[in-house]
Amino acid sequence: MRNRELPNIYSSCTKNGIFTVKSCYWLARDVMAVVGDVGSNEDYWRLVWNTQGPPKLKHFLWGAVKGNLAVKDRLVQRHVTNDATCHICGGARETIIHSLFECSAAKEIWEHSELSEHLIDSPTESFIARWKWLYGKVEGSILRRMAALMWAAWRCRNLIVFENEHPDVVICLWLVFAATTSSVVQKCPPQGCIKANVDVHVPAVGNTGLWIVFRDADGRFVLTTMKKMEASTPECVEA
């Protein structure tokens, strides 16, 4: 292969700015240090694919672990844009951690979920570190709901950024219910009818959360509501 000059951003990998196999190797090492070398790491693979939940939830988690979510921080690294500021809150660099947990839109979802307490003292340096920490600290059913909250935060982020929609918290939490119940086919009601879907969260401590979503025959949201109630069994709350 004929040697050629490297762009300035890669010139630090070689003294004279000329491409070599060695410089390519060290560049690859630098890139993997940034995004996390998880492609060949079976431990991280198991952390994702052993998580309970539908395939779309696992695919989302794997994308987050590999750093493949198109947050602005990643787009800057790939030289797609020069601005990494969060599009929604405008107050921080949009990393995966920021989009799924720290952004104002994501925070509102977590605060209404009553699961934010599980994030206390969790790592903040990368999604990989946080997911590994949660996997070892939180029981399976709660971890699945937390993963669904991350998916809902990402979905709502995309609705705001790309479709100029501003879904309320109830709809975002309904997405959590939809993300964790893919084994049940959610059918639209017949023409002229309204269907009510109910989801309940009963925490170990604190009030129970009840979410209800009404949809028409076309699957559109007609009404959403949320209510906090005294702790009880899921069956009693849904009734």
Q: What is the pLDDT of residue 5?
A: 43
The whole model's pTM is what? 0.62
Q: What is the pLDDT of residue 95?
A: 95
Q: What is the pLDDT of residue 123?
A: 93
Q: What is the pLDDT of residue 69?
A: 93
Q: What is the pLDDT of residue 121?
A: 92
Task: Say which residues have a Cβ less than 8 Å from residue 196's Cβ, sequence separation at least 6.
Answer: 212, 213, 214
Q: What is the pLDDT of residue 37?
A: 44
Determine the Cα–Cα distance for residues 208 and 194; give it in Å rounded to an integer. Answer: 25
Q: What is the pLDDT of residue 31?
A: 58
What are the CA-CA distances from residue 95 to residues 18, 80, 126, 210 (Å)? Answer: 32, 15, 9, 31
Q: What is the mean pLDDT of each run of 10 residues along the chain (239 residues)?
A: 44 67 70 49 74 82 90 91 92 93 90 86 92 90 88 88 78 61 61 82 69 77 75 73
Q: What is the pLDDT of residue 204?
A: 62
Q: What is the pLDDT of residue 9?
A: 46
Q: What is the pLDDT of residue 36?
A: 47
Q: What is the pLDDT of residue 188?
A: 75
Q: What is the pLDDT of residue 96?
A: 96
Output the CA angle 221-223-228, nearest 5 degrees.
125
Helix axis angle for 127-137 and 42-49, nearest 10°, is 60
Determine the Cα–Cα distance for residues 79 and 24; give it in Å rounded to an integer. Answer: 18
